Amino acid sequence: MSRVNVLDHPLIQHKVTFIRDKNTGTKEFRELVDEVATLMAYEITRDMPLEETTIETPVATCTSRVIAGKKVGLIPILRAGLGMVDGILQLIPAAKVGHVGLYRDPETLQPVEYYVKLPSDIAERELIVIDPMLATGGSAAAAITALKNRGAKSMKLMCLIAAPEGIKLVQEEHPDVDIYVAAIDEYLNDHGYIVPGLGDAGDRLFGTK
């Protein structure tokens, strides 16, 4: 069973409060999502392996540690996932970025891929799949399946806010993928919105609607 990690750092929680607030306008919303993404990236990368290297300081030779292991790939799910990419790149500037676009078929209600563009070496990368709102979990689970079908081996899922329903679905379909969230909310309403949530993340990021 995958683990669910609630990133409860005070700075993350403080900023999420203002992200939720309906009186927060597009500019500030975007800036806050960017900042929270950076803080979440700091927490998510805690388990990155390190290796020793030898360097010379101006005073002496010493061994010191650098990040080892696999390189990182960021995979935002279009469109709202885009809002968290730059914040993560602040800390992992060399990460490659792939994109997955999905829409829901109005008849079957199943997610359908309409755009997938990935780094060629995803099998060798630690992937962070990004979707601010884990609602039903359908899009995230389908995006992870799409990545696995193309060779991805190691993934984490990063969301701002999750509904219990979405967590359950991703855990059932992808027990190997750990989930990182800033908050777990109460439930999904009849319109598919997370309650209390923050509304439509894509609309609030891009100023649409």
136 known ligand binder: yes
Region of 131 on the Ramachandran plot (φ > 0 left; ψ -120 to 50 alpha; else beta):
beta
3: annotated binding-site residue?
Answer: no
Binding to ligand URA by residue 165, rule CB under 6 A? no
Minimal distance, residue 160 CB to ligand URA, in Å: 10
Among 98, 102, 197, 205, binds ligand URA (CB under 6 A): 197
**SS3 assignment for the chain:** CCCEEECCCHHHHHHHHHHHCCCCCHHHHHHHHHHHHHHHHHHHHHHCCEEEEEEECCCCEEEEEEECCCEEEEEEEECHHHHHHHHHHCCCCCCEECEEEEEECCCCCCEEEEEEECCCCHHHEEEEEECCEECCCHHHHHHHHHHHHCCCCEEEEEEEEECHHHHHHHHHHCCCCEEEEEEECCEECCCCCEECCCCCHHHHHHCCC
| Residues 123-162, mask of contacts with ligand URA (x by CB under 6 A) | ----------x-x---------------------------
Rounded to the nearest whole angstrom, what is the least distance from the CB of residue 136 to ligand URA in the complex? 8
Residue 86 a catalytic site member:
no
Reply yes or no on whether 200 is catalytic.
yes
The binder of ligand URA chosen from 39, 72, 201, 205 (CB under 6 A): 201
User: Smaller CB distance to ligand URA: residue 20 or 174?
Assistant: 20
* Pick 119 or 192: Cβ nearer ligand URA: 192
For ligand URA, which is the closer residue by CB, 100 or 133? 133
| 108 annotated active-site | yes
183 lines the binding site for ligand URA (CB under 6 A): no
Give, to the nearest 10 degrees, the angle between helix 26-44 and helix 10-20. 150
Residues that bind ligand URA (CB under 6 A): 80, 133, 135, 192-194, 197, 200-202
| Binding-site residues for 5-phospho-alpha-D-ribose 1-diphosphate | 79, 104, 131-139, 200
